């Protein structure tokens, strides 16, 4: 089964100031040069002036998430191992280029998993949904589509198809995405590869069938299913992959705005008291935001 990572609300910059706090060692030298030394305090103040508020906000957020949820080393190990299995010999180079090394990568996974737990709260996944997801994971679909911006155009295209129009030619004429010149050809895809509305439509169709217009965040799609085959991926038994299926379904339902609201609520409950004067009001809601929320 393929793993799912919920998009990070926090960035890798959370790592920046973790070792640069202001304590009794402010005058500790962190760099020596013939032109003079750089102290820990100078280093800290420079980092703070450049992006200190954002980093401090992220550090506080992680502390609050840690107080409410738990992620084990084994959880992180499992995610790292999955990446190693996926990328093989390319893993070390990829992690170094994208994340600056495995330690940073592990920290980002850790934060991501904390957020995933926060996001999953309140999302109920039924056994029927899990079974349907599993059944879909056993099949791959080869399809074409025509994507247009509005429903009126979609209905016009569908009527031309009903009247015997050629799907590939109409895709070249009407479709607004990169597959247009290839007749709308998407190739084979599996569950989780497409947005939920598109997937639901495609997996409910038979070979040769053409859908009515399907609305997604990208516009209106008309879908033609060309083939359905057994997946070549090693899926495993239902009970073995049940937890991963649940994670995928949760990820599809996560609302980034609601997740941020939940995190903000947890921060408020934590009664954060910022000791740095210029940042002391960073978690207080602006009046304009309050008025907008009330309105």
Alpha-carbon distance of 89 to 276, in angstroms, equals 45
Per the model's pLDDT, the better-predicted residue between 287 and 116 turns out to be: 116
- Residue range 82-93: mean pLDDT, rounded: 91
Alpha-carbon distance of 234 to 184, in angstroms, equals 28
| Residue 237, both tokens | 């038994």
Q: Mean pLDDT lowest for which of 19-28, 87-96, 232-241?
A: 19-28
Q: What is the mean pLDDT of the chain?
A: 86
Which tens digits make up the pLDDT trace of 28-55? 888 888 888 989 888 888 888 888 888 8
So what's the pLDDT on residue 234? Answer: 78
Residue 210 burial (CB < 10 Å; 0-12/13-18/19+)?
middle
Alpha-carbon distance of 249 to 77, in angstroms, equals 22
CB 136 within 8 A of CB 201: no
Which residue's entry shows tokens 């200190």? 52
So what's the pLDDT on residue 10? Answer: 44
Which residues lie below 8 Å from residue 56, measured CB to CB, with a gap of 6+?
17, 274, 276, 279, 282
Measured CA to CA in angstroms, residue 28 lies from 23, 40, 45, 47, 51 at distances of 10, 5, 13, 16, 22
Write phi, then psi, for 184 (nearest 5 degrees): 75, 15
So what's the pLDDT on residue 54? Answer: 84
So what's the pLDDT on residue 286? Answer: 58
| Residue whose C-alpha is closest to residue 117's, from 243, 231, 206 | 243
CB 61 within 8 A of CB 11: no
Q: Which residue intervals of 121-183 are DSSP H helices?
A: 127-137, 151-162, 167-174
Alpha-carbon distance of 143 to 116, in angstroms, equals 32
Domains of the chain: 12-123+254-294 (no CATH), 139-230 (3.10.50.40)
pLDDT at residue 17 greater than cutoff 50: no
| Residue whose C-alpha is closest to residue 215's, from 193, 196, 188, 190 | 196
In the chain, the DSSP E strands lie at 29-33, 36-39, 139-148, 185-189, 214-216, 219-230
Q: Which residue intervals of 189-237 are DSSP H helices?
A: 196-203
Which tens digits make up the pLDDT trace of 202-253? 999 999 999 999 999 999 999 999 999 998 777 889 998 898 899 888 888 8
| Residue 61, both tokens | 């957020």
Per the model's pLDDT, the better-predicted residue between 232 and 260 turns out to be: 260
So what's the pLDDT on residue 148? Answer: 98
pLDDT at residue 6 greater than cutoff 60: no
3-state SS class at 83: helix
Which tens digits make up the pLDDT trace of 162-196? 999 999 999 999 999 999 999 999 999 999 899 99
Which tens digits make up the pLDDT trace of 94-106? 999 988 899 989 9
So what's the pLDDT on residue 120? Answer: 87
So what's the pLDDT on residue 25? Answer: 53
Which tens digits make up the pLDDT trace of 105-150? 999 999 989 988 998 888 889 999 999 999 999 999 999 999 999 9
Strand pairing partners for 185? 144
- Residue range 75-86: mean pLDDT, rounded: 90
So what's the pLDDT on residue 21? Answer: 47
Alpha-carbon distance of 108 to 102, in angstroms, equals 10
Per the model's pLDDT, the better-predicted residue between 290 and 75 turns out to be: 75
Which residue's entry shows tokens 């937890």? 243
């Amino acid at each position: 089964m393929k793993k799912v990572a919920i998009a990070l609300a926090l960035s890798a910059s959370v790592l920046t100031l973790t070792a640069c706090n202001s304590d009794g060692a402010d005058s500790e030298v962190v760099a020596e040069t013939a032109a003079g030394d750089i102290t820990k305090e100078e280093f800290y103040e420079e980092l703070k002036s450049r992006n200190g508020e954002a980093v401090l906000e992220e550090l506080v957020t992680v502390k609050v998430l840690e107080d409410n949820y738990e992620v084990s080393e084994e959880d992180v190990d499992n995610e790292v191992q999955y990446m190693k299995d996926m990328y093989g010999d390319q893993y070390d180079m990829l992690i170094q280029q994208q994340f600056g090394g495995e330690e940073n990568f592990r920290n980002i996974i850790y934060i991501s998993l904390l957020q995933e737990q926060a996001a999953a709260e309140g999302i109920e996944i039924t056994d029927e949904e899990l079974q349907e997801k599993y059944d879909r994971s056993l099949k791959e679909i080869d399809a074409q589509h025509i994507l247009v911006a509005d429903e009126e155009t979609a209905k016009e295209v569908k009527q031309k198809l009903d009247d015997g129009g050629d799907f590939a030619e109409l895709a070249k004429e009407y479709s607004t995405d990169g597959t247009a010149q290839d007749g709308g050809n998407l190739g084979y895809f599996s569950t989780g590869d497409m947005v939920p509305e598109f997937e639901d439509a495609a997996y409910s169709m038979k070979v040769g069938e053409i859908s009515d217009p399907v609305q997604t965040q990208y516009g209106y799609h008309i879908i033609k299913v060309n083939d359905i085959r057994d997946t070549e991926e090693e899926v495993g038994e239902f009970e073995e992959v049940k937890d991963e299926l649940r994670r995928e379904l949760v990820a599809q339902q996560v609302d980034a705005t609601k997740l941020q609201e939940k995190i903000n609520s947890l921060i408020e409950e934590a009664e954060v008291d910022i000791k740095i004067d210029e940042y002391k009001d960073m978690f207080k809601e602006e009046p304009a935001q309050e008025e907008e929320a009330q309105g």
